Amino acid sequence: MRRRNLSGLTTAACALMLLAGLAPASAADSGREANRHRSHHERAYRTVGYFTQWGVYGRDFQVKDLETSGTAAKLTHVNYAFGNVSAEGKCFTGNVPGEADAWADYARPLDAAGSVDGVADTDSQPLAGNFNQLRELKAAHPGLKVMISLGGWSWSTHFSDAARTAASRKALVSSCIDLYIKGNLPVDGARGGEGAAAGLFDGIDIDWEWPGSAGDTDTVHRPEDKRNFTALVHEFRTQLDAYAKSRPKGGTKPRHYELSAFVPTAPTKIDAGFDVRRVMRDFDFVNLQGYDFHVSGEAATAQQSALYAEGDFSVDGTVRDWVRRGAPARKLVMGMPFYGQGWTGVTGGGDGLGQPAAAPAPATYAAGYEDYKALRKLAGSGQYTVHRDNRNGHAWLFDGTTLWTYDDPQVLRAKTSYIRDRGLGGAMFWSLDGDTDDGELMTAVDRGLSGH
Protein backbone atom coordinates (compact mmCIF):
# COMPACT_ATOMS: atom_id res chain seq x y z
CA MET A 1 0.00 0.00 0.00
CA ARG A 2 2.96 2.32 -0.25
CA ARG A 3 3.83 4.74 -3.02
CA ARG A 4 4.57 3.24 -6.39
CA ASN A 5 6.55 4.12 -9.47
CA LEU A 6 4.45 5.43 -12.35
CA SER A 7 7.01 5.46 -15.14
CA GLY A 8 5.97 2.29 -16.93
CA LEU A 9 7.14 -0.63 -14.82
CA THR A 10 6.40 -4.13 -15.98
CA THR A 11 4.00 -6.24 -13.94
CA ALA A 12 6.91 -8.35 -12.73
CA ALA A 13 8.78 -5.31 -11.51
CA CYS A 14 5.69 -4.02 -9.73
CA ALA A 15 5.22 -7.37 -8.07
CA LEU A 16 8.78 -7.26 -6.76
CA MET A 17 8.17 -3.88 -5.20
CA LEU A 18 4.85 -4.72 -3.57
CA LEU A 19 6.36 -7.35 -1.14
CA ALA A 20 5.70 -3.49 1.57
CA GLY A 21 7.55 16.51 25.87
CA LEU A 22 7.09 17.94 29.14
CA ALA A 23 4.14 20.24 30.02
CA PRO A 24 4.97 23.98 30.49
CA ALA A 25 5.60 24.90 34.10
CA SER A 26 3.51 28.11 34.17
CA ALA A 27 0.77 30.02 32.41
CA ALA A 28 3.38 32.24 30.78
CA ASP A 29 5.25 29.18 29.59
CA SER A 30 1.96 27.79 28.24
CA GLY A 31 1.41 30.93 26.22
CA ARG A 32 4.90 30.83 24.76
CA GLU A 33 4.47 27.14 23.92
CA ALA A 34 1.15 27.80 22.18
CA ASN A 35 2.71 30.62 20.17
CA ARG A 36 5.57 28.34 19.15
CA HIS A 37 3.09 25.74 17.87
CA ARG A 38 1.08 28.39 16.01
CA SER A 39 4.21 29.65 14.31
CA HIS A 40 4.92 26.15 12.98
CA HIS A 41 1.40 25.10 12.05
CA GLU A 42 0.13 28.37 10.58
CA ARG A 43 3.16 29.35 8.52
CA ALA A 44 3.18 29.81 4.77
CA TYR A 45 4.63 26.41 3.82
CA ARG A 46 2.78 23.15 4.24
CA THR A 47 4.69 20.22 5.70
CA VAL A 48 2.67 17.07 5.05
CA GLY A 49 3.69 13.71 6.49
CA TYR A 50 2.06 10.34 5.80
CA PHE A 51 1.45 8.15 8.85
CA THR A 52 0.88 4.51 7.85
CA GLN A 53 -1.88 2.51 9.51
CA TRP A 54 0.16 -0.72 9.42
CA GLY A 55 3.35 0.84 10.78
CA VAL A 56 2.17 0.34 14.36
CA TYR A 57 2.79 -3.41 14.02
CA GLY A 58 6.16 -4.72 12.77
CA ARG A 59 7.76 -1.29 12.64
CA ASP A 60 6.33 -0.35 16.04
CA PHE A 61 5.98 3.26 14.89
CA GLN A 62 3.29 4.86 17.00
CA VAL A 63 1.60 8.26 16.87
CA LYS A 64 3.43 9.11 20.10
CA ASP A 65 6.73 8.83 18.20
CA LEU A 66 5.74 11.97 16.27
CA GLU A 67 5.72 13.78 19.61
CA THR A 68 8.88 12.35 21.17
CA SER A 69 10.91 12.90 17.98
CA GLY A 70 9.88 16.56 17.77
CA THR A 71 8.31 15.93 14.35
CA ALA A 72 4.74 16.86 15.30
CA ALA A 73 5.73 20.44 16.10
CA LYS A 74 7.23 20.77 12.60
CA LEU A 75 4.24 19.38 10.65
CA THR A 76 1.22 21.28 9.37
CA HIS A 77 -0.59 18.12 8.18
CA VAL A 78 -0.62 14.42 9.00
CA ASN A 79 -2.08 12.28 6.20
CA TYR A 80 -3.42 9.00 7.58
CA ALA A 81 -2.79 6.20 5.09
CA PHE A 82 -5.11 4.73 4.03
CA GLY A 83 -8.89 4.58 3.83
CA ASN A 84 -10.39 2.06 1.40
CA VAL A 85 -13.24 2.16 -1.14
CA SER A 86 -15.44 -0.93 -1.44
CA ALA A 87 -16.65 -2.74 -4.55
CA GLU A 88 -19.99 -1.03 -3.87
CA GLY A 89 -18.29 2.36 -4.20
CA LYS A 90 -18.35 3.44 -0.56
CA CYS A 91 -15.75 4.38 2.02
CA PHE A 92 -15.67 1.64 4.64
CA THR A 93 -13.73 0.18 7.53
CA GLY A 94 -13.83 -3.02 9.55
CA ASN A 95 -11.50 -5.89 10.33
CA VAL A 96 -10.96 -7.45 6.90
CA PRO A 97 -7.43 -8.77 6.29
CA GLY A 98 -5.79 -6.83 3.47
CA GLU A 99 -8.79 -4.52 3.07
CA ALA A 100 -9.43 -2.66 6.33
CA ASP A 101 -8.09 -2.56 9.88
CA ALA A 102 -10.50 -1.03 12.37
CA TRP A 103 -8.38 -2.50 15.19
CA ALA A 104 -5.44 -0.28 14.28
CA ASP A 105 -7.64 2.66 13.38
CA TYR A 106 -9.85 3.03 16.46
CA ALA A 107 -10.25 -0.16 18.52
CA ARG A 108 -6.73 -1.00 19.78
CA PRO A 109 -6.18 0.24 23.36
CA LEU A 110 -2.96 2.08 24.21
CA ASP A 111 -1.42 2.07 27.67
CA ALA A 112 -0.14 5.20 29.39
CA ALA A 113 3.40 4.70 28.11
CA GLY A 114 2.18 4.47 24.51
CA SER A 115 -0.23 7.42 24.64
CA VAL A 116 0.51 10.94 23.50
CA ASP A 117 -1.08 12.41 26.64
CA GLY A 118 0.36 9.81 29.01
CA VAL A 119 -3.08 8.47 29.97
CA ALA A 120 -4.09 4.86 29.32
CA ASP A 121 -7.16 4.12 27.21
CA THR A 122 -10.16 2.69 29.06
CA ASP A 123 -12.33 -0.24 28.00
CA SER A 124 -15.38 1.97 27.62
CA GLN A 125 -14.15 4.92 25.56
CA PRO A 126 -15.63 4.95 22.03
CA LEU A 127 -12.39 6.00 20.30
CA ALA A 128 -9.01 4.33 20.83
CA GLY A 129 -6.22 3.22 18.46
CA ASN A 130 -4.46 5.54 16.03
CA PHE A 131 -7.48 7.81 15.69
CA ASN A 132 -7.56 8.66 19.39
CA GLN A 133 -3.81 9.19 19.47
CA LEU A 134 -4.06 11.57 16.51
CA ARG A 135 -6.79 13.44 18.37
CA GLU A 136 -4.46 13.74 21.37
CA LEU A 137 -1.66 14.92 19.09
CA LYS A 138 -3.90 17.66 17.72
CA ALA A 139 -4.77 18.73 21.26
CA ALA A 140 -1.07 19.08 22.01
CA HIS A 141 -0.43 21.02 18.79
CA PRO A 142 -3.11 23.59 18.00
CA GLY A 143 -3.38 24.13 14.27
CA LEU A 144 -2.09 20.69 13.24
CA LYS A 145 -4.44 19.18 10.64
CA VAL A 146 -5.15 15.49 10.08
CA MET A 147 -6.34 14.29 6.66
CA ILE A 148 -7.72 10.89 5.75
CA SER A 149 -5.91 9.63 2.66
CA LEU A 150 -8.07 7.43 0.44
CA GLY A 151 -6.66 4.72 -1.82
CA GLY A 152 -2.93 4.34 -2.28
CA TRP A 153 -1.36 1.80 -4.61
CA SER A 154 -3.19 -1.24 -3.26
CA TRP A 155 -6.56 0.33 -2.41
CA SER A 156 -7.29 2.29 -5.60
CA THR A 157 -9.01 -0.80 -7.01
CA HIS A 158 -12.59 0.51 -7.12
CA PHE A 159 -12.14 4.25 -7.72
CA SER A 160 -12.89 4.04 -11.44
CA ASP A 161 -16.16 2.19 -10.86
CA ALA A 162 -17.21 4.51 -8.03
CA ALA A 163 -16.58 7.63 -10.15
CA ARG A 164 -18.52 6.53 -13.26
CA THR A 165 -21.84 8.32 -12.72
CA ALA A 166 -23.13 11.38 -10.92
CA ALA A 167 -25.11 9.14 -8.57
CA SER A 168 -22.15 6.90 -7.76
CA ARG A 169 -19.90 9.90 -7.14
CA LYS A 170 -22.43 11.44 -4.76
CA ALA A 171 -22.75 8.14 -2.90
CA LEU A 172 -18.98 7.68 -2.57
CA VAL A 173 -18.34 11.21 -1.32
CA SER A 174 -21.29 11.08 1.08
CA SER A 175 -20.02 7.82 2.57
CA CYS A 176 -16.50 9.20 3.06
CA ILE A 177 -17.77 12.35 4.76
CA ASP A 178 -20.09 10.31 6.98
CA LEU A 179 -17.34 7.90 8.04
CA TYR A 180 -14.41 10.26 8.48
CA ILE A 181 -15.53 13.89 8.67
CA LYS A 182 -18.70 13.26 10.70
CA GLY A 183 -16.88 10.42 12.43
CA ASN A 184 -19.71 7.88 12.32
CA LEU A 185 -17.67 4.73 12.83
CA PRO A 186 -19.02 1.16 12.78
CA VAL A 187 -19.56 -0.21 16.28
CA ASP A 188 -16.72 -2.54 17.28
CA GLY A 189 -17.40 -3.73 20.82
CA ALA A 190 -17.29 -0.62 23.00
CA ARG A 191 -15.61 1.34 20.21
CA GLY A 192 -17.13 3.37 17.43
CA GLY A 193 -20.66 4.65 17.03
CA GLU A 194 -22.21 7.88 15.81
CA GLY A 195 -19.80 10.79 16.03
CA ALA A 196 -17.04 8.74 17.69
CA ALA A 197 -14.36 10.33 15.49
CA ALA A 198 -16.08 13.68 14.93
CA GLY A 199 -13.63 16.55 14.70
CA LEU A 200 -10.60 14.35 14.08
CA PHE A 201 -10.20 14.74 10.33
CA ASP A 202 -9.76 18.18 8.80
CA GLY A 203 -10.05 17.10 5.19
CA ILE A 204 -9.65 14.41 2.58
CA ASP A 205 -6.63 13.42 0.49
CA ILE A 206 -7.41 11.48 -2.72
CA ASP A 207 -4.74 8.90 -3.59
CA TRP A 208 -6.25 7.35 -6.72
CA GLU A 209 -3.28 5.68 -8.43
CA TRP A 210 -4.01 6.32 -11.30
CA PRO A 211 -7.09 7.71 -13.12
CA GLY A 212 -6.84 6.78 -16.80
CA SER A 213 -3.61 4.79 -16.36
CA ALA A 214 -2.50 1.37 -15.15
CA GLY A 215 -1.81 1.00 -11.44
CA ASP A 216 -1.82 -2.10 -9.28
CA THR A 217 -2.72 -5.34 -11.07
CA ASP A 218 -6.37 -5.31 -9.95
CA THR A 219 -6.97 -1.56 -10.25
CA VAL A 220 -9.56 -0.71 -12.90
CA HIS A 221 -8.84 2.18 -15.26
CA ARG A 222 -10.77 3.61 -18.21
CA PRO A 223 -10.27 6.39 -20.79
CA GLU A 224 -13.19 8.30 -19.23
CA ASP A 225 -11.47 8.35 -15.83
CA LYS A 226 -10.07 11.82 -16.56
CA ARG A 227 -13.54 13.33 -16.95
CA ASN A 228 -14.90 11.33 -14.03
CA PHE A 229 -11.99 12.22 -11.75
CA THR A 230 -12.60 15.92 -12.42
CA ALA A 231 -16.27 15.45 -11.52
CA LEU A 232 -15.38 13.41 -8.43
CA VAL A 233 -13.03 16.08 -7.14
CA HIS A 234 -15.73 18.70 -7.63
CA GLU A 235 -18.23 16.50 -5.81
CA PHE A 236 -15.84 16.23 -2.85
CA ARG A 237 -15.40 20.01 -2.84
CA THR A 238 -19.14 20.61 -3.07
CA GLN A 239 -20.13 18.23 -0.28
CA LEU A 240 -17.29 19.27 2.03
CA ASP A 241 -18.24 22.93 1.63
CA ALA A 242 -21.92 22.16 2.18
CA TYR A 243 -21.17 20.27 5.38
CA ALA A 244 -18.94 23.08 6.64
CA LYS A 245 -21.73 25.60 6.08
CA SER A 246 -24.24 23.36 7.87
CA ARG A 247 -22.27 23.37 11.11
CA PRO A 248 -23.07 25.80 13.93
CA LYS A 249 -21.09 28.94 13.27
CA GLY A 250 -20.81 30.30 16.80
CA GLY A 251 -20.14 33.79 15.48
CA THR A 252 -17.23 32.70 13.32
CA LYS A 253 -16.88 31.79 9.67
CA PRO A 254 -17.88 28.23 8.67
CA ARG A 255 -15.07 25.74 8.95
CA HIS A 256 -13.19 24.90 5.75
CA TYR A 257 -12.34 21.28 5.07
CA GLU A 258 -9.23 20.85 2.96
CA LEU A 259 -9.06 18.71 -0.17
CA SER A 260 -5.80 17.41 -1.63
CA ALA A 261 -4.45 14.60 -3.80
CA PHE A 262 -1.30 12.64 -4.50
CA VAL A 263 -0.45 13.18 -8.18
CA PRO A 264 2.02 11.61 -10.63
CA THR A 265 5.29 12.53 -12.28
CA ALA A 266 5.00 10.98 -15.75
CA PRO A 267 3.48 13.42 -18.30
CA THR A 268 1.57 10.55 -19.91
CA LYS A 269 -0.15 9.82 -16.60
CA ILE A 270 -0.86 13.48 -15.91
CA ASP A 271 -2.49 13.89 -19.31
CA ALA A 272 -4.42 10.62 -19.11
CA GLY A 273 -6.07 11.38 -15.78
CA PHE A 274 -5.90 15.03 -14.79
CA ASP A 275 -7.65 18.08 -16.23
CA VAL A 276 -5.14 20.19 -14.35
CA ARG A 277 -6.69 23.64 -14.61
CA ARG A 278 -10.11 22.43 -13.53
CA VAL A 279 -9.12 20.15 -10.65
CA MET A 280 -6.72 22.70 -9.20
CA ARG A 281 -9.67 25.05 -8.67
CA ASP A 282 -11.14 22.57 -6.21
CA PHE A 283 -7.95 21.35 -4.54
CA ASP A 284 -6.36 23.29 -1.70
CA PHE A 285 -3.08 21.68 -2.75
CA VAL A 286 -1.65 18.57 -4.38
CA ASN A 287 1.29 16.42 -3.29
CA LEU A 288 3.65 15.79 -6.20
CA GLN A 289 5.30 12.42 -6.60
CA GLY A 290 8.95 13.25 -5.92
CA TYR A 291 10.32 9.71 -5.65
CA ASP A 292 10.18 6.24 -7.20
CA PHE A 293 11.36 7.75 -10.48
CA HIS A 294 13.26 4.46 -10.71
CA VAL A 295 12.77 1.42 -8.47
CA SER A 296 14.70 -1.66 -7.47
CA GLY A 297 12.62 -3.92 -9.70
CA GLU A 298 14.38 -2.41 -12.72
CA ALA A 299 17.39 -4.10 -14.31
CA ALA A 300 19.84 -1.24 -13.76
CA THR A 301 20.58 1.15 -10.91
CA ALA A 302 19.30 4.72 -11.19
CA GLN A 303 18.29 7.75 -9.17
CA GLN A 304 14.88 7.60 -7.55
CA SER A 305 14.37 11.22 -6.45
CA ALA A 306 16.80 13.62 -8.17
CA LEU A 307 16.02 17.32 -8.08
CA TYR A 308 17.25 17.66 -11.68
CA ALA A 309 17.86 15.00 -14.33
CA GLU A 310 18.35 15.69 -18.02
CA GLY A 311 16.30 13.32 -20.13
CA ASP A 312 14.85 11.53 -17.09
CA PHE A 313 12.19 11.98 -14.44
CA SER A 314 13.04 14.58 -11.80
CA VAL A 315 11.46 16.83 -9.21
CA ASP A 316 12.09 19.91 -11.31
CA GLY A 317 10.58 18.23 -14.37
CA THR A 318 7.49 17.27 -12.35
CA VAL A 319 7.02 20.82 -11.08
CA ARG A 320 7.43 22.26 -14.57
CA ASP A 321 4.98 19.78 -16.09
CA TRP A 322 2.27 20.66 -13.56
CA VAL A 323 2.85 24.43 -13.83
CA ARG A 324 2.87 24.23 -17.64
CA ARG A 325 -0.56 22.59 -17.52
CA GLY A 326 -2.02 25.32 -15.33
CA ALA A 327 -1.30 24.39 -11.71
CA PRO A 328 -0.48 27.36 -9.44
CA ALA A 329 3.00 26.89 -7.97
CA ARG A 330 1.68 27.82 -4.49
CA LYS A 331 -0.59 24.74 -4.56
CA LEU A 332 2.23 22.31 -5.41
CA VAL A 333 3.73 20.44 -2.45
CA MET A 334 6.96 18.57 -3.22
CA GLY A 335 7.07 14.89 -2.26
CA MET A 336 10.26 13.70 -0.55
CA PRO A 337 11.24 10.11 0.30
CA PHE A 338 12.16 9.07 3.83
CA TYR A 339 13.45 5.78 2.36
CA GLY A 340 15.75 4.51 -0.38
CA GLN A 341 15.57 2.18 -3.38
CA GLY A 342 18.32 -0.47 -3.54
CA TRP A 343 19.90 -2.99 -5.91
CA THR A 344 22.38 -5.81 -5.34
CA GLY A 345 24.59 -7.79 -7.70
CA VAL A 346 25.67 -4.52 -9.31
CA THR A 347 28.36 -4.92 -11.97
CA GLY A 348 30.27 -2.52 -14.17
CA GLY A 349 32.38 -0.77 -11.55
CA GLY A 350 32.67 2.96 -11.09
CA ASP A 351 30.32 4.59 -8.61
CA GLY A 352 27.64 1.98 -9.37
CA LEU A 353 25.02 4.33 -10.81
CA GLY A 354 23.51 3.36 -14.16
CA GLN A 355 24.96 -0.16 -13.99
CA PRO A 356 23.32 -3.59 -14.42
CA ALA A 357 22.00 -5.21 -11.25
CA ALA A 358 20.89 -8.72 -10.39
CA ALA A 359 18.06 -8.09 -7.93
CA PRO A 360 16.54 -5.76 -5.33
CA ALA A 361 18.87 -5.37 -2.36
CA PRO A 362 18.14 -7.27 0.88
CA ALA A 363 16.41 -5.00 3.39
CA THR A 364 14.66 -4.96 6.75
CA TYR A 365 11.02 -5.23 5.65
CA ALA A 366 10.90 -5.61 1.86
CA ALA A 367 13.70 -6.27 -0.64
CA GLY A 368 14.80 -3.11 -2.41
CA TYR A 369 13.15 -0.72 0.05
CA GLU A 370 14.90 0.58 3.19
CA ASP A 371 14.14 3.32 5.71
CA TYR A 372 16.41 6.35 5.90
CA LYS A 373 17.28 5.53 9.51
CA ALA A 374 18.79 2.22 8.39
CA LEU A 375 20.59 3.78 5.41
CA ARG A 376 22.07 6.41 7.69
CA LYS A 377 23.72 3.63 9.68
CA LEU A 378 25.07 2.08 6.48
CA ALA A 379 26.50 5.44 5.46
CA GLY A 380 28.42 5.63 8.72
CA SER A 381 29.51 1.99 8.81
CA GLY A 382 32.65 2.42 6.72
CA GLN A 383 31.43 -0.30 4.35
CA TYR A 384 29.68 2.05 1.94
CA THR A 385 30.87 5.16 0.14
CA VAL A 386 28.50 8.14 -0.01
CA HIS A 387 28.32 9.54 -3.54
CA ARG A 388 26.73 12.85 -4.47
CA ASP A 389 25.64 14.63 -7.59
CA ASN A 390 25.49 18.14 -6.15
CA ARG A 391 24.53 19.70 -9.46
CA ASN A 392 21.46 17.48 -9.89
CA GLY A 393 20.58 17.10 -6.22
CA HIS A 394 20.72 13.44 -5.28
CA ALA A 395 22.86 10.96 -3.35
CA TRP A 396 23.55 7.24 -3.21
CA LEU A 397 25.51 4.63 -1.27
CA PHE A 398 27.67 1.99 -2.97
CA ASP A 399 29.90 -0.75 -1.58
CA GLY A 400 30.97 -2.24 -4.91
CA THR A 401 28.05 -4.69 -5.04
CA THR A 402 25.00 -3.04 -3.47
CA LEU A 403 23.67 0.44 -4.21
CA TRP A 404 21.05 2.52 -2.38
CA THR A 405 19.69 5.79 -3.77
CA TYR A 406 18.14 8.06 -1.13
CA ASP A 407 17.71 11.59 0.24
CA ASP A 408 19.75 12.74 3.24
CA PRO A 409 19.71 16.12 5.02
CA GLN A 410 22.11 17.67 2.48
CA VAL A 411 19.83 16.71 -0.41
CA LEU A 412 16.75 17.94 1.45
CA ARG A 413 18.38 21.31 2.08
CA ALA A 414 18.81 21.71 -1.69
CA LYS A 415 15.16 20.74 -2.21
CA THR A 416 13.84 23.19 0.39
CA SER A 417 15.88 25.95 -1.25
CA TYR A 418 14.19 25.02 -4.54
CA ILE A 419 10.75 25.19 -2.86
CA ARG A 420 11.47 28.69 -1.59
CA ASP A 421 12.99 29.89 -4.86
CA ARG A 422 10.10 28.58 -6.99
CA GLY A 423 7.30 29.71 -4.68
CA LEU A 424 5.99 26.20 -4.11
CA GLY A 425 3.47 25.28 -1.42
CA GLY A 426 5.72 23.15 0.78
CA ALA A 427 7.01 19.63 1.31
CA MET A 428 5.44 16.19 1.74
CA PHE A 429 7.06 13.03 3.15
CA TRP A 430 6.49 9.34 2.53
CA SER A 431 6.58 8.15 5.16
CA LEU A 432 7.16 9.44 8.67
CA ASP A 433 8.24 6.06 10.07
CA GLY A 434 11.41 6.13 7.93
CA ASP A 435 13.02 9.02 9.80
CA THR A 436 15.42 8.70 12.74
CA ASP A 437 14.19 8.66 16.34
CA ASP A 438 15.14 12.32 16.69
CA GLY A 439 13.53 13.37 13.38
CA GLU A 440 16.72 14.22 11.50
CA LEU A 441 15.11 14.55 8.06
CA MET A 442 12.12 16.47 9.38
CA THR A 443 14.45 18.89 11.14
CA ALA A 444 16.46 19.43 7.94
CA VAL A 445 13.29 20.29 6.02
CA ASP A 446 11.98 22.53 8.80
CA ARG A 447 15.21 24.51 8.91
CA GLY A 448 15.46 24.64 5.14
CA LEU A 449 11.96 26.03 4.68
CA SER A 450 12.72 28.61 7.35
CA GLY A 451 15.78 29.69 5.38
CA HIS A 452 18.23 28.51 8.06
Annotated catalytic residue, options 33, 136, 194, 209: 209
Helix axes 409-422, 315-324, angle to 10 degrees: 20
What are the b/e assignments for 49-72, b being 16+ CB within 10 Å? Answer: bbbbbbbbeebebbbbbbbebebb
How many CB atoms within 10 Å of residue 3?
Answer: 23
Residue 37 C-alpha from the chain's centroid: 22
Cβ partners under 8 Å of residue 352, min gap 6: 301, 346, 387, 396, 398, 400, 403
| Alpha carbon distance 369, 297 (integer Å) | 10
Q: Is 194 a catalytic residue?
A: no
- Percent helix / strand / coil, the chain, rounded to 5: 35, 20, 45
DSSP track, 239-270:
HHHHHHHHS--TTSPPP--EEEEEE-S-HHHH
End-to-end, the C-alpha distance of the chain in Å comes to 35
- Phi/psi zone of residue 299: left (φ > 0), alpha (ψ -120 to 50 degrees), beta? alpha
Going by the DSSP 8-state scheme, the letter that residue 13 receives in this structure is H
- Residues 375/396, Cβ–Cβ less than 8 Å: no
- Residues 450/68, Cβ–Cβ less than 8 Å: no
- Length of the chain as a residue count: 452
Catalytic residue annotation: 209
